[in-house]
Structure formats: structure tokens, C-alpha cells
């Protein structure tokens, strides 16, 4: 136990030894983000900006402008618009990238509006298809289900009747054609049993649920 405590204490000391002060860590992350932006690696840039944003240190005035560029590059338009808006609110008309921020905001706003419309249209179509699917499934489990079950029952009865027409032991005595009739009767019986046990499975094979659109 004493040995384990010593190991844990050493690990804590090691972790603390490598930890940078918040302001220096922020500078490191911003440098990392700039390198990623220059390489058009927008996801890495976003990750670096997000880590820097929670350090509770003062950021450069241009922080949210570059954050907005990273979000725009990744086509995350709603977040890009919010970042540009924050930059414009903080720096006003005298900001170093005032014009570029306005252009970025306008592009993000336009693309976000288009994306929202596309999503709204897709959801409307999905709702119609989902309502149709649910109606089909309800009908399938009632009328279609009953009709098909009766058809299977009739098929089973006809198969057994044909088999038994060979005589009392016609299904079993190996007479010509009786084996095929027996197999048909058993197959029909099995399908009736499977259908009664799992109507949802049968209905799901007839109707496919629509896929819900993602943002």
C-alpha cells in the first residue's frame, strides 16, 4: 500500500511538472491553431481554439475572428456566425479584420439559412413518409395481415388435402408424388406458424421505415 501511494505521488508530481501556466498554454494552443489554419486543417484548429477558450485568460482581440474562420472552413456555419458576431461585438468598427469579419458573417449567415431551409424541407418530407409508413404498418397488421394469414391457412389445408387424397397413409407411404405433397404441406404449415409468431417481421419486409434527416 505504501509502495502504491509513492507511485501515485510521483505521477502527480510528474504531471504538475509538465503543466504550463494558463497564459502560456493559451499561447501554445493559439500557435497550434494558426499552424492548422494555414494547413487548412480546420478540425485541429477548432479543437485548439476550443481548448484555449476555456482557460479563462485574456485572448487577443482577433481570437474570435480566427475561430470563425476555422468554423467556416469546417462548414459549421451556425458556430462560425456566432464567432464572427462575438468578434464584431468586441472590437466594433475599429477591429483589425472588421471588413473580413463582416464578409465571413454574411457568408456564414447565408449558408446557415440555406442549410436550415434544406433541413426543414427534408424534415417535412420525412414526416410525410413516416406518416405513410405508420399507416401502412397499421393496415398491414390488421387487414393485410388477416388476408395473408387466411391465404396461408387455405394453402396449408389444400396441401394436406391433396396429400391425403392418396389414401389414409398417402402422405407417408412413398407413393408417386406424395413426397412432394408432404413437403408442400409441411412448408405451408411452417409459414403459417412463422407468420402468426412474427407479423411485425413480415410487415417490415413489405414496408421500409424512412430515415430521419440529420443536421
- Alpha carbons 48 and 79: distance in angstroms, whole number: 15
What beta strand segments (E) does 7-61 contain?
Answer: none
Query: Which whole number is the average pLDDT over 118-138?
Result: 91
CA 46, CA 83: separation in Å to the nearest integer? 11
The pLDDT tens digits of the residues spanning 42-68 come to 999 999 999 999 999 999 999 999 999
Alpha-carbon span 178 to 193, nearest angstrom: 22
Global model pTM greater than 0.85: no
pLDDT at 17: 41
Q: What are the distances in angstroms from CA 18 to CA 6, 11, 32?
A: 19, 11, 18
Give residue 159's pLDDT band: very low, low, confident or very high (50, 70, 90): low
Q: Closest by alpha carbon to 47, among 56, 57, 35, 58?
A: 35
Residue with cell 502560456: 24
| Residue 205's pLDDT band (cuts 50, 70, 90) | confident
Torsion sign across C-alpha atoms 155, 160, 165, 171: positive
CA dist 208 and 211 (Å) reads 9
Amino acid at each position: 500500500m505504501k509502495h502504491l501511494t509513492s507511485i501515485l505521488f510521483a505521477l502527480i508530481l510528474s504531471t504538475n511538472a509538465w503543466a504550463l501556466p494558463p497564459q502560456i498554454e493559451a499561447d501554445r494552443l493559439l500557435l497550434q491553431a494558426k499552424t492548422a489554419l494555414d494547413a487548412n486543417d480546420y478540425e485541429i484548429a477548432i479543437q485548439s481554439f476550443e481548448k484555449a477558450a476555456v482557460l479563462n485568460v485574456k485572448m487577443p482581440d482577433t481570437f474570435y475572428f480566427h475561430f470563425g474562420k476555422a468554423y467556416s472552413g469546417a462548414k459549421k456555419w451556425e458556430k462560425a456566425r456566432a464567432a464572427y458576431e462575438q468578434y464584431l461585438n468586441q472590437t466594433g468598427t475599429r477591429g483589425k479584420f472588421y471588413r473580413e469579419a463582416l464578409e465571413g458573417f454574411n457568408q456564414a449567415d447565408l449558408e446557415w439559412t440555406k442549410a436550415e431551409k434544406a433541413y426543414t424541407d427534408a424534415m417535412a418530407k420525412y414526416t410525410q413518409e413516416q406518416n405513410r409508413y405508420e399507416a401502412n404498418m397499421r393496415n398491414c397488421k390488421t387487414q393485410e395481415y388477416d388476408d395473408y394469414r387466411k391465404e396461408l391457412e387455405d394453402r396449408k389445408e389444400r396441401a394436406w388435402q391433396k396429400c391425403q387424397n392418396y389414401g389414409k397413409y398417402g402422405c407417408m407411404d412413398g407413393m408417386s408424388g406424395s413426397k412432394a405433397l408432404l413437403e408442400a404441406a409441411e412448408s405451408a404449415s411452417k409459414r403459417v406458424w412463422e407468420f402468426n409468431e412474427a407479423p411485425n417481421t413480415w410487415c417490415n419486409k413489405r414496408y421500409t421505415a424512412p430515415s430521419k434527416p440529420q443536421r
